[in-house]
Amino acid sequence: MSNFPRRDDWVLQPLYQYQGFWYFQDYLVGLLAAQENFKPQPSDIVLCTYPKTGTTWLKALAYAIVTRSKFNDSENPLLTKAPHDCVPFLEIDAARNASNRDPEIPLVATHIPYNSLPTSILESGISSNGPYWDHVLGYWKARVESPEEVLFLVYEDLKKDTVSNVKKLAEFMGYPFTPEEEKRGVVQQIIDLCSFDSLRNMKASKSGVYSPDSHIPFETLNFSEKVPLEIGRIISVKKWVLVWIR
């Protein structure tokens, strides 16, 4: 760590430069651990977002889509747990302790830029954490190389036509909605479950507590009326989906 370029003029704590991006020390330690230790499964779907661009909403949507046949409406963990507990961060939880992942749920999240992803992921398929456009550019280049494996969604479009884009996301991840599910209103049920109001009112939001073994300080979430949640961008080991804010 002492060999990395360092900036001490940041408000919270020093930043270290690694592979062209700046990170807080604790985050960089996790990133290095992920590069060395993470072992992806063939079915993994990795949710990749730039910080503060809507990770929470995206985690909730992906989790609700993937687990909709596993839990009924009254039992979904999203009713009592924060999305960050339902979908662990690669560089915070999963790489440090494999037991932090539910083997039956193929979701893991990361803020790691494309160029710094663990080689184990790349070989299986294809501010801090900034600068933003460099972060996005790496994934865009991956899309150019493998257009059939990358889906770009735009935040404004997702907000304007959430139903169509959630259906597109589900199909791309390999969990398409059946005609029967659409008739029963399952798509809208998932959207409602993952709505901003629902996330603000969940038990974890009100208590300000993650699960006891979570490494993420709850203050990283903001459910206030003044700072609405925003969507981020998704990628997967098999396929990559990116969502950005215009």
Q: Where are the domains of the chain?
A: 14-244
Q: How confident is the model at residue 164 (pLDDT cuts 50, 70, 90)?
A: very high
Between 241 and 101, where is the model more confident?
Answer: 101
Query: What is the per-residue pLDDT for 143?
Result: 66
The residues assigned a catalytic role are 111
- Span 146-156, pLDDT tens digits: 776 667 776 67
Instruction: Determine the Cα–Cα distance for residues 61 and 194; give it in Å rounded to an integer.
Output: 6
151 vs 67, residue with greater confidence: 67
pTM reported for the whole predicted model: 0.75
Has residue 187 got a pLDDT over 90? yes
| Res 98: pLDDT | 67
* Average model confidence (pLDDT) across the chain: 75
Query: Residue 186 — pLDDT band, cuts 50, 70, 90?
Result: very high
Question: In this predicted model, what pLDDT tens digit does every residue of 111-136 receive, in sequence order?
Answer: 888 788 887 776 554 444 455 446 56
CA 82 from chain center: how many Å?
13
Residue 168 has pLDDT above 50, yes or no: yes
- Distance between CA atoms of residues 90 and 161, nearest Å: 30
CA distance 197 to 24: 31
* pLDDT, tens only, 71-115: 987 889 998 888 988 998 888 876 667 667 788 888 888 888 878
- Cα separation, 232 vs 146, in Å, equals 21
Q: How crowded is residue 3: how many other Cβ atoms within 10 Å of its Cβ?
A: 6
How far is 194 from 67, CA to CA, in rounded Å?
A: 13
Asked if pLDDT for residue 7 goes beyond 60, the answer is yes
CA distance 232 to 213: 25
CATH superfamily of 14-244: P-loop containing nucleotide triphosphate hydrolases (3.40.50.300)
Amino acid at 16: Y
**Which residue, 96, 109, 99, is CA-closest to 44?**
109
155: which strand partners? none
More confident residue, 194 or 146: 194
Q: Helix count (H) and strand count (E) of the chain? A: 11, 7
